[in-house]
Amino acid sequence: MSATTDDARTRMRNQMVERQVRARGVEDPRVLQAMRDTPRDRFVPSRLADLAYEDAPLPIEEGQTISQPYIVGLMLEAAHIKSSDRVLEIGAGSGYAAAVMSLLAKEVLAIERFPSLVALAQARLEALDRANVSVIQGDGTLGAADHAPFDAIIVSAGAPEVPPSLLAQLAIGGRLVIPVGHDARSQELVVIEKTADHHFDRRSLGHVQFVPLVGTEGWTSEGAAVAMRRSSLDLRLGSRDRAKIARVIADSCEPFSDVRHAPLDPILRRIGQSRIVLIGESTHGTSEFYRLRARITAALVARAGFKVIGIEADWPDTAAVDRTVRKRPASPLREPMYARFPTWMWRNAEMQEFVSWLARRNATLDPAARAGIHGLDVYGLNNSIGAVIDYLARVDPFAAEQARERYACFSPWERDPSVWGRAAAVGLAPTCEHEAVATLKSLLEERLRYSRDDGDAFFDAARSATVVGEAEKYYRAMYRSSRESWNIRDRHMFETLMALLEHRGSDTRAVIWAHNSHVGNAAATEMGAHGEINLGQLVRERFGNQAYLIGFGTDQGTVAAATNWDAPMEVKEIRPSHEDSYERILHEACRMLPAPSNAFFLPLRAAHALPARTELLHPRLERAIGVVYRPETELVSHYFEATLPAQFDEYIWIDRTTAVLPTDAPPTGEYESEAARSQAGVDAIPDTYPFGL
């Protein structure tokens, strides 16, 4: 991704000017040329550089945005900037608009409220040698009386009213371009020309959406804070209306009536030769997501030779499932399989059905051809410790004793590692970092000797020892910062995936199951803007278009979730989606389809569905329901801002969904008798699963 060459970027920039700016009616050749000559990719956070020429505003630091290219063109054309002009910009942000203006004016002074943005903008402008621009920190609503008058003033943030100071600082004949309006979500873009002292002409350029102008003659900061959450979201959605977007989606999606009948050939074709397929889910308790994900996975395994299935579950527990499905010798667990909260995530009828299928299919194959299932997560400290010691007890009793002594560091806290993490983080308990690292190191040093007889068993043990080390870091980080612990967790998932690929051979293909928030590229979300990375982003950076990222979403129905962490599972009603969300658009699109469609596949790569992708590029709210769901506080606790087509290559929409069916027993792949199956509430699985219907 980041390997995009300068040439390619120049081409993208020229196209941007042609298709987004000129095609919409901006004609001033100087403005168009200045935009061709200013690399917008240098003004966005580097993780977003590849999106810099998309037809959209993008998030920048401090929760602000860089304006959509077209809006910059429109404003600068309206400002009629001449090469002898002195120009003032309020709201320098990334510095991009100021950089374009530097090629049009004699001198540009840009004011920005956030010191960090000022520093970034200065550095970028300097790197491009735009010496006639200065960026200063301050409250731009008051203008810059010392430097007045100005031939043009551009305000790049939305004001409730036109600040009088700015009118006063315009030269006679000067132009002020400013978004104005009391609704922080939508402003009128106006051009005001000073014809004589105290005389102004005013015309409108239409509706726009900007972040709020906060200052003495702008919004108060509290007013803006309230407005901000909304205005930064569906920002600049302008007058585009939801029904129109929904229509485009309805026209380009592939509808189906229910998950058993959804035709898989088209999505398999789009996945093509991808090496890694990530399948996300917008809840951790929706039956339809589990079942369709299982069908897609089974098809990838059976038809395309995928051999690794990585799931958002504990390593040692899932290793036990893997041992049954790949017919490897069993090994006991300290704690029962998937007995830790949230049990329903893996102890459910849907999972049993899939695991049984996998076991039966593998039984017909050579060991090397069997697909395995593996836990990518960092939890499961206790079972991991047990797995390492038990393994060593078999292959090297002396080393087992040493590991037992080292891991004793954790034993006062084994029941609740998060309590230990808090104690260790504040110095009330010893950290166990040294012990965890030393055990892993000793194990790896004996790799050749240990793995001679059973490479898979050694690999299991080495991964368990890695989990102990990462869990140690994770639980301590949890009390310092949720961002840091999140990043440890997602990096660990990625490293586990890489280790699996290496272990199974260089051409191995893998399917990953995890929540949308791990799978969708974090760079395209609010979390990414705040410094979180995730598995999807790491996979995308490593595998580029060889990774296929799929998300699942729903409007309403029931879901299995708890009210608090560690609380019992409940079947909860999902609230209908919020009006500012992607979900609402997809719900409306679904209703435009001929009955009985309740669902659709929505390809989002430009090559597959350009119009849908373009319509959805404007950031909006997206819902995430995890193992905890609190409908009462949904807007603040479960919605975040994202750019869907930059997050996923494809989205699977199921309008109405139902909760997974929890079971007492874990999925061991040994539910062969009809009686056991019906007890578990699973329909008889045809031998041809997943192609039976």
Q: Which residues bind to ligand SAH, rule: CB under 6 A?
A: 64-67, 90-91, 93-94, 96-97, 111-114, 117, 139-141, 156-157, 211, 213-215, 218
| Cis bond upstream, residue 686 (ω within 30) | no
Query: Residue 459 half-sphere exposure, CB side, CA atoms within 13 Å?
Result: 17
Q: How many CB atoms lie within 10 A of CB 365?
A: 12
CB of 531 to ligand SAH, least distance (A): 18
CB of 115 to ligand SAH, least distance (A): 10
CB closer to ligand SAH out of 91 and 469? 91
CB closer to ligand SAH out of 67 and 186? 67
CB closer to ligand SAH out of 52 and 66? 66
Tokens 């304006």 found at: 67
CB of 141 to ligand SAH, least distance (A): 5
Q: Is 102 a catalytic residue?
A: no
CB closer to ligand SAH out of 43 and 391? 43
CB closer to ligand SAH out of 52 and 497? 52
Q: Give the residue at shortest CB distance from ligand SAH.
A: 93
CB of 142 to ligand SAH, least distance (A): 8
CB of 194 to ligand SAH, least distance (A): 21
Cα 363 → chain centroid: 37
What is the phi-psi region of residue 688: left when phi exceeds 0, alpha when psi lies from -120 to 50, beta otherwise?
Answer: alpha
Q: What SS3 state is found at 672?
A: coil
CB of 272 to ligand SAH, least distance (A): 37
| The token pair that represents 157 in the structure block | 């943030």
Tokens 């402003």 found at: 187
CB of 601 to ligand SAH, least distance (A): 36
Cα 157 → chain centroid: 27
CB closer to ligand SAH out of 213 and 337? 213
DSSP 158: B
Instruction: Determine which one of 46, 67, 102, 252 is catalytic.
Output: 67
CB closer to ligand SAH out of 43 and 629? 43
CB closer to ligand SAH out of 228 and 624? 228
The amino acid occupying position 54 is: E
Tokens 């087509």 found at: 645
- What own/partner pairs with CB < 8 Å and gap ≥ 24 does 409-413 have? 409/435, 410/381, 410/385, 410/435, 410/468, 410/472
| Cis bond upstream, residue 690 (ω within 30) | yes
Please, which residues bridge with residue 513 across strands?
279, 311
Q: What SS3 state is found at 537?
A: helix
CB of 98 to ligand SAH, least distance (A): 7
Residues 648, 603: Cα–Cα separation, whole Å: 9
Residues 464, 97: Cα–Cα separation, whole Å: 52
The amino acid occupying position 438 is: A
- In angstroms, what is the C-alpha Rg of the chain? 28
CB of 91 to ligand SAH, least distance (A): 3
Q: What SS3 state is found at 313?
A: strand
Please, which residues bridge with residue 199 across strands?
196
- Residue 328, class by beta-carbon neighbours within 10 Å (0-12 exposed, 13-18 middle, 19+ buried)? middle
CB closer to ligand SAH out of 226 and 243? 226
Quick one: which of 651, 574, 660 has its CA closest to 605? 651
| Cis bond upstream, residue 115 (ω within 30) | no
Residues 240, 212: Cα–Cα separation, whole Å: 20
- Cα end-to-end distance, the chain, whole Å: 39
DSSP 681: T
CB closer to ligand SAH out of 66 and 538? 66
CB of 139 to ligand SAH, least distance (A): 5
- Asked if residues 89 and 154 have their Cβ atoms less than 8 Å apart, the reply is yes
Residues 416, 146: Cα–Cα separation, whole Å: 63
Element (H, E) at 86: strand 86-90
- Residues with a known catalytic role: 67
